[in-house]
Amino acid sequence: MRSNYASSADSEKSLLLSREQSKSISVDDPYSALAPSKQLQSLPRLMSTFSFCFANGCMLCSYFIITLPLESARISEDLKSLYLGCFIAIAGLTQLMCPLIGMLSDICSHRWGRRRPFMVLGGLFGCTFLSLQLYASVNELWSLYSFAFAMSMMSLNTIFSSMVGMVPDLIDESQVGAANGVQAVLSVTGGLFGFGFFYFVLDKQIPGLYVLYIFLVASTIVLTVLSAQETPIPIPYNGERRIFHSLPISEVKKSYYLTPSEHGDFFWVTLSRTFYYMGISAQTFFLYFLKDIIKMSDPAAGVSILSSVAQCSAALSAYPVGLFSDRLNRGRKMFIYGSCFILAIGNAAFLFCRNLTSVIVISGLIGMGNGGYLSMDSALAVDCLPNKEESAKYLGIWGVASFIGTALGPMIGGPLLYFAGQTDIPGNYSIEGYALLLSMSVVYFIIAALVLKKVKSD
């Protein structure tokens, strides 16, 4: 990899001239060289271009709700909530690479375009380290497992950071909501597929999940490479077409920097996303909730059922919400307010559940809220981009917000559940601990909605 972050006059000049070349092509549309027409995409092409969302949804949902909770219990039944919090913290820390990967893909001059080369590299490394995770899990080599997990997350982040840049690159503004709705539907149906596959095909055997992850990453990357109609950027200052270009340190620092004064509405959208994911991260502990409070003898099966209900509800709401918001040409915040309200009410209602039927009903309600939020959040982020020429960099920061929230939520919630919910039975937690955990989620969702009141450009 020829990547050099040393600050130098040559690298500064190369980066600036490369951007100026893009700007000079069209004053009105600096992306004219990257997407000459931005024609409306058919639904099948949208689905194939963003097919990695299916793999990503399958992995992230089953990772954090099935795989990691069960692996944490294998490490230590008594300390499983703390180990689970640590794994999710690792996942959150690996997200810090997203802005840098996004920035590198913004200036990538490879003949395949800006995004696909990074997706292919991420896919190759991802499949390798997922295989290593499988080996470590089977042999109970937990230090090796933790390392392989961290590297797998870095690889998946590389793919995702590159893929999200395709929306402003390739999608017409009138179709942004629909495109993000497609991504949300693929994500939630991927999660649904993962739970169903785990329960009905794998018979709740964890090793098979890793094989499924590897297959999905490889197949969806191939599909995206064949479907995405990327156009290479103009030849850069150094005259070479390659994946990696040097970046000055000053530019790297800027890729991790957001302020409300300089980046306006995009800052508030990103902050809202952080709180949303802090709220949704309570689902990580739901396998334990079903065992301790609902008294299920097979909580893993219960998680699969509930997640399937929630994912079906999300899939039904995500695309229609995105399509409707495109036709309104405004009002994305309105849908997010409604979603956050549904999510807050749903999490509070879990505290009063004592049987599986009531939990299923509330899970369906929460799924509808999630589907609407996922569709509108990404569409609003694209609408509020400070600079579409650096879309992947900014969407990388936006992506970091999700994993910061996903990491912070369990890092706070795990110890709260452990210390406030301890009982005389090792590994079991009381309703008081879960009440504190779910109440925090309600607060996070309310904050996520209130923060968006600062956004003016909706």
User: Is residue 211 one of the residues assigned to a domain?
Assistant: yes
Cα separation, 363 vs 312, whole angstroms:
10
CATH number (domain holding residue 284): 1.20.1250.20
User: Is residue 360 one of the residues assigned to a domain?
Assistant: yes
CA-wise closest residue to 332 among 394, 274, 269: 269
User: Is residue 247 one of the residues assigned to a domain?
Assistant: no
Contact 118, 178 (CB under 8 A): no
Cα separation, 390 vs 344, whole angstroms:
34
Mean pLDDT split into 10-residue runs, the chain, 458 residues: 40 45 38 53 90 92 86 89 84 84 82 89 96 96 95 93 86 83 87 85 89 97 90 66 70 75 88 93 87 90 83 84 74 88 96 93 93 85 82 80 81 88 85 94 96 85
Number of domains in the chain: 1
User: Is residue 177 one of the residues assigned to a domain?
Assistant: yes
User: Is residue 64 one of the residues assigned to a domain?
Assistant: yes
User: Is residue 7 one of the residues assigned to a domain?
Assistant: no
User: Is residue 342 one of the residues assigned to a domain?
Assistant: yes
Cα separation, 151 vs 457, whole angstroms:
38
Contact 227, 48 (CB under 8 A): yes
CA-wise closest residue to 182 among 333, 368, 371, 388: 371
Domain interval for residue 213: 41-229+254-454
* Amino acid 368: pLDDT: 92
The residues near 395 (Cβ < 8 Å, ≥ 6 apart) are 102, 161, 164, 165, 167, 381, 382, 385
The residues near 204 (Cβ < 8 Å, ≥ 6 apart) are 198, 300, 301
Contact 237, 17 (CB under 8 A): yes
User: Is residue 412 one of the residues assigned to a domain?
Assistant: yes
CA-wise closest residue to 162 among 270, 277, 243: 243
Please report the DSSP string for 338-400 in residue order. HHHHHHHHHHHHGGG--SHHHHHHHHHHHHHHHHHHHHHHHHHHHHT-S-GGGHHHHHHHHHH
- Which helix (DSSP H) or strand (DSSP E) does residue 299 occupy? helix 299-328
Task: Read off the amino acid at residue 358.
Answer: S
The C-alpha angle with vertex 152 and arms to 148 and 154, in degrees rounded to 5, equals: 120
| Coil/strand/helix, residue 170 | helix
CA-wise closest residue to 449 among 271, 183, 261, 266: 271
